[in-house]
Chain A
Amino acid sequence: MFNNLLPPIVVQILQRLDLVLLSALGLLIFAGGVTLYSASDMSLEMVYRQGLHFLLGCSLMVVMSQVQSKTLRQWVVWLYGIGLVLLVLVLVVGETKKGATRWLYIGIDIQPAEMMKIAVPMMIAYYFSEKSLPPRLIDIIIALILIFVPMLLIMKQPDLGTSLLIAVSGLFVIYLAGMSWWLIGGAIAFIAVAAPLMFHYGMHEYQRQRVLTLISDDVNVLKEGYHIYQSKIAIGAGGLYGKGWQNGDQSHLDFLPERHTDFIYAVFGEEFGLVGNLALLSLYLFIIWRALYIASKGEDTFGRLLAGSLSLTFFIYLLVNTGMVSGVLPVVGVPLPLVSYGGTSIVTLMIAFGIIMGMKKRKRIYQTDD
């Protein structure tokens, strides 16, 4: 395309990027910005700051897209190890906000759990790439240990949502590595039995409340169910075509809590209706499929497993958030990926997309010099 017009280094960088995925992401980011503008009561400042998050995220994405599979593999153990140490430090000397200890102050506040969102699947992918696949039971057990240690540390903070998402990202690697369907079926059966026990003995009261809110639907409208209740009103009142951009009464009159962060999907649903939802989810579907496609074109097993897991984790974010906002899943603090306001999540996700792109099998760039 522009190969002859641009300096070789730029061409090389561009070739490492997946332009199809990049365009889809751009479209999503644009849609997110538009929604955020409305959700924040036309606050240009908030959109501007979100833009800065994306700028940082995109830069890191571009950087990560240049990192080859074999380079990344050299970092894996270090990343994972440091992550674990930081998680322990959080529990010992971390900062407590709103009843949860998630932050570590090292000049700036960092959230080590965020780093583990990438480090854990990376570690599991690395472990399996050293083995022949499909994995043996012993490998799976070792992989599970590698998953559950950071998961438990994060659960202790407590941050149930993040810990589950991290566990899921690790489990996706095991699934993609080819864990036998029998074992998958057994695991699902085990969870079905363990979940109720977990509910009774392993959860904090507020977590239990969230689950109950979901099950009992509209009963406790003004207490625990307020978020879901208002969010369902917003979405339901949106109807087929929505109330129109900036016309969402639920959000603009302050009825919808956390409307520019976790519940931004309700704002979108109220203003753009079912048609808008269909378009937005189609875009997400395209992005996920494209990412999976790139993963399948991975340089090696490590690359494929890591990219595939990160793609599916992105999907899980989407599913958990939309499920929560529409009242079919419990309230867990998961943002709508790349749309909700917030720097941490955006940067992590963009890094993940950079990694996905970087895992793609390299073409011989010399060909263009002919």
Chain B
Amino acid sequence: MGERLSIKTERDEQQLFNSRAIIAALIVLLALTGIIARMYFLQVKQNAYYTNLSLQNYQHRIPIAPTRGQIYDRNGVLLADSKTKYVIQVVRDSVSDLNDDGKRNYSDIDILLGQLSGLVSISEKEQRLFMQQLRKTSRYQPTVLKENLTDVEVAKFAVNKPRFPGVDIEVRMERNYPYGKVASHVIGYVGRIDERDMKNLNRDEYAASTHIGKTGVEASHEDRLHGQTGYSLHEVDAHGQYKDLLDEKPPVGGQDLFLSIDMDLQLKAEDLLKNERGAVIAIDPTNGEVLAMASMPTFDPNLFVNGISHKDYTDLRDNPDRPLYNRALQSAYPPGSTIKPMVALGGLQEGVIWPSKTTYDPGFFQIPGNKHRYRCWKKSGHGAVGIDRAIAQSCDTFFYDMAYRMGVEKYSNFMRNYGFGQVTGIDLPSESPGLMPTPEWKQKRYKQIWYPGDTVNIGIGQGYWLATPLQLAHAVATTSMRGIRVKPRLLHAVRRVKNEPPEVLPPEYLPKVVLKNPHFWDLSINGMINVVNASYGTAKKVSQGISYTMAGKTGTAQVFGIAQNAKYDAKKLAKRLHDHALFVGFAPASNPKIALSVIIENGGGGSSVAAPVARAMMDEYLLPKPALDPNAPAGPPKPVATLVNNTKNSKQPRER
């Protein structure tokens, strides 16, 4: 048939084919252009996206935890150290059938140990102990094969890990507090990172960390202590096998902290309060450094490091003496008479009293037109008193009258400038702001108006006014420095690089208390000197045999609002209704080196119970130390402590 086609048909068919072929050729071009467009989209437009996916595919980043910084006192006494410990352990059930007999049994473990010994050195003793332990442990639980692996062993194993199902390296951080219960409220403790911590922290930075500071300096300086997490970046294939080490960044250890705490003074403070509930805070008034901060009773932070047992925790939590509570800054007490030297300054500043001003004290104060008598602690009255005797003898009537005439606004305002009613900003968590009451506050809190009597009460540090022991220490330090306020702090110095000298941090100044006449400071400070040193001073006994000038102020706070628990026996209940004993002071008066506040809950009178503690603290800090027997760092038995016990039940009238 084909042969019979005419030439014309043949030419037509050729042309038909040619046109179809040309169209096809164009379609081919179009389609391949489409593929190239697709390639352009993938390789240029979405290149970053796919590059990222590719990296995720084949790169494994293993975070490496930094070593936590250590904590020392100001003299380099170790308070907290930490070691990162690598532990290799085996879960028997997950070990593969290495001898191919279809069963997993102890002979597989023998083979496993043989294979592992090329990577990790395992002594015969470790091997024996491990096999013993393995037989005792559930097949699903890990058994420790070797503790304290070297970095090289860890690295070697990490690369070969896919070969060893059931074998794991656990990082254990061992935080240790060598002084145990001492200064535990200050140092705090670390604990395992829990879900609440996870919400707040940078997960990348904590990718390898197991612990985090929970309280105290451990928590407030977590950023400095933690350090920077490092990593190693491995190439990994589709089967999870590690190929090459691509990149590595070693972790940077945390900073070592040198606290302002003087451990000798801290030990002294805790010893002085060892049978009490209370707090002692000693501050260097020139720079705000806290030299001692004791809150008693206390607790052992080591219990918390690797998870506290349920029983230990319940014991601490349910203890009526609340050992976990840092009384120095979490508890707010009525400051009582301790604030009289500062209150007097407020009166002078506002002009309601003046240097020559005297007030007659008949033993009570009455608001004009009102019959209610606000009693002075001395029933017979002090007679005519000026500023000096009002402070030294703690005359209530003088301050009732002064506060009444000053008015609550000016009064609260002045005390606020002193730092009351607000946190000091110390570098510890959970600080209470206390309470410096105002009419607005009372209206909001109690839906009641402010009565003039409320002003009279806060005039002697009672009523609604609440202050933390730290605020009192800060206030007395401010007074000693004639108005210069330094933020209290616990961090004295930091060491960023191991073996380098620590860098001392500068003090942080707060707004000054400025008086219109600097001479006013002398009036207040002299009153405080006379509290301790004058024959008429409320705490004159405490200055016996003293070799420096001590200034101070006693205080006694009425106890109220203590929840009464039926479990307590009558004796204990009675004890809990005793007044709190307070004392604030500083020394030497002309050149202050230490300012402190003491509170002993239900201790009784400030002069008899709290003042001797203050004196003992100042002696410890200011007097040259006798050559101590190094085996007895806490010092010889303390007569002061005996004195505290003996005077507790004294029937003498006490000042407020």
A residues with CB within 8 A of B = 129-134, 172, 175-178, 230, 232-240, 249-250, 253-255, 269, 273-274, 277-278, 281, 284-285, 288-289, 292, 295-296, 298, 300-302, 304-305, 308, 312, 315, 318-319, 322-323, 326-328
Q: In the complex the two chains form, is A285's CB within 8 Å of B29's CB?
A: yes
Show 12 A/B contacts (Cβ-Cβ < 8 Å), sorted by A. A132-B9, A133-B12, A133-B13, A176-B21, A236-B46, A237-B53, A240-B47, A274-B40, A274-B44, A304-B17, A319-B32, A327-B38
A274 with B235, Cβ < 8 A, contacts A176-B21, A237-B51, A289-B25 known = no
Q: Please give, as numbers and ranges, the residues of chain A lying within 8 Å of B5 by CB-CB distance.
A: 132
| Contacting residues, chain B, for A273 (C-beta < 8 A) | 43
A296 contacts B39, CB within 8 Å? no
B638 interface residue per 8 A CB criterion = no
Known: A133-B16, A289-B28, A326-B38. A237 touches B47 (CB 8 A): yes
Please report the C-alpha to C-alpha distance between residue A240 and residue B40 in the assembled complex, in whole angstroms. 8
Known: A237-B51, A239-B44, A253-B57. A296 touches B17 (CB 8 A): yes
Closest 7 CB pairs of A and B: A236-B50, A237-B54, A254-B238, A253-B237, A236-B42, A274-B43, A178-B16
B371 close to A (CB within 8 Å): no
Question: Which residues on the A side are within 8 Å of B21 (C-beta)?
Answer: 176, 292, 295-296, 308
Is B57 in contact with A319, judged by CB distance below 8 angstroms? no
- State how many residues of chain B have any CB contact under 8 Å with chain A: 42
Sample of 16 further A-B pairs with CB below 8 A, known A133-B12, A326-B35: A175-B24, A176-B17, A233-B54, A236-B47, A237-B47, A240-B47, A249-B57, A250-B54, A250-B57, A255-B237, A269-B42, A274-B40, A281-B32, A304-B13, A304-B14, A327-B38
Residues of B within 8 A of A253 (CB): 57-58, 235-238, 243
Indicate which residue in B13, B17, B54, B236 contacts A234 across the interface (CB closer than 8 Å).
B54
| B57 (CB) vs chain A CBs: closest residue | A255
Which chain B residue lies CB-closest to A129?
Answer: B2
Q: In the bound complex, what is the Cα–Cα distance between A236 and B50 (angstroms)?
A: 5
Using CB atoms, name the residue of chain B closest to A221: B53
B237–A254 CB distance below 8 A: yes
> What is the CA–CA distance of A298 and B38 in the complex, to the nearest angstrom?
35
The residue from A176, A239, A292, A319 contacting B31, defined by CB atoms under 8 A apart: A319
Q: Are B44 and A288 in contact (CB under 8 A)?
A: no
With A and B bound together, what is the CA distance between A292 and B29 in angstroms? 13
Expressed in whole angstroms, the minimum distance between the Cβ of A164 and any Cβ of chain B is 16
Query: What distance in Å separates the Cβ of B458 from its nearest Cβ neighbour in chain A?
Result: 70
Which residue from B18, B38, B40 sits with its C-beta under 8 Å from A296? B18
Interface residues of B in 195-226 (CB under 8 A from A): none
Interface residues of A, dominant DSSP: helix
How far is it, in angstroms, between the C-alpha of A302 and the C-alpha of B51 when the chains are bound?
Answer: 50
Report the Cα distance A230→B53, complex, angstroms.
9
Contact B39 A235 (CB under 8 A): yes
B512: Cβ under 8 A from any A Cβ:
no
| Separation of A230 and B9 alpha carbons in the complex (Å) | 54
Main secondary structure of the interface of B (DSSP, over half): helix
Contact A239 B17, beta carbon cutoff 8 Å: no
Q: With A176-B21, A255-B57 in contact, do A239 and B28 touch (Cβ < 8 Å)?
A: no
* In-complex Cβ contact of B39 among A131, A277, A285, A318 (8 A): A277
Q: How many A-B residue pairs have CB under 8 A?
A: 144
- B residues apposed to A, CB below 8 Å: 1-2, 5, 9-10, 12-14, 16-18, 20-21, 24-25, 28-29, 31-32, 35-36, 38-40, 42-44, 46-47, 49-51, 53-54, 57-58, 235-239, 243
In whole angstroms, how far apart are the Cα atoms of A238 and B39 in the complex? 10
- With A235-B43, A274-B39, A304-B17 in contact, do A249 and B31 touch (Cβ < 8 Å)? no
Contact B54 A292 (CB under 8 A): no
Distance from A136 Cβ to chain B, minimum over Cβ atoms (Å): 14
Q: Is the CB of B58 within 8 A of A281?
A: no
A319 and B36 alpha carbons, distance in the complex (Å): 11
Give the residues in chain B near A235, CB-CB below 8 Å: 39, 42-43, 50
B42 to chain A, nearest CB (A): 4
User: Which A residues lie within 8 Å of B14 (CB)?
Assistant: 296, 304
B28 touches A315 (CB 8 A): yes
Q: Is the CB of A175 within 8 A of B20?
A: yes
**Residues of A contacting B40 with CB < 8 Å?**
274
Candidate in B5, B9, B58 with the most chain A CB atoms within 10 angstroms: B58
Beyond A133-B16, A277-B39, A285-B29, is A312–B24 a contact (Cβ under 8 Å)?
yes
Smallest beta-carbon distance A39→chain B, Å: 15
Asked, given contacts A178-B16, A300-B2, A301-B13, whether A326 binds B28 with beta carbons under 8 Å apart, the answer is: no
Roughly how many angstroms separate A133 CA and B105 CA in the complex, as a whole number?
80
Question: Once the chains are docked, how many angstroms separate the CA of A132 from the CA of B238?
Answer: 59
Which residue of A has the minimal Cβ distance to B43?
A: A274
CB distance from B34 to the nearest CB of A (A): 8
> Roughly how many angstroms separate A249 CA and B17 CA in the complex, as a whole number?
47
A60 to chain B, nearest CB (A): 25
Report chain B residues within 8 Å CB of A281. 32, 35-36
State whether B57 touches A232 (Cβ < 8 A): no
Q: Which residues of A contact B50 (CB under 8 A)?
A: 232-233, 235-237
Which partner residue on chain A sits nearest B35 by CB separation?
A322
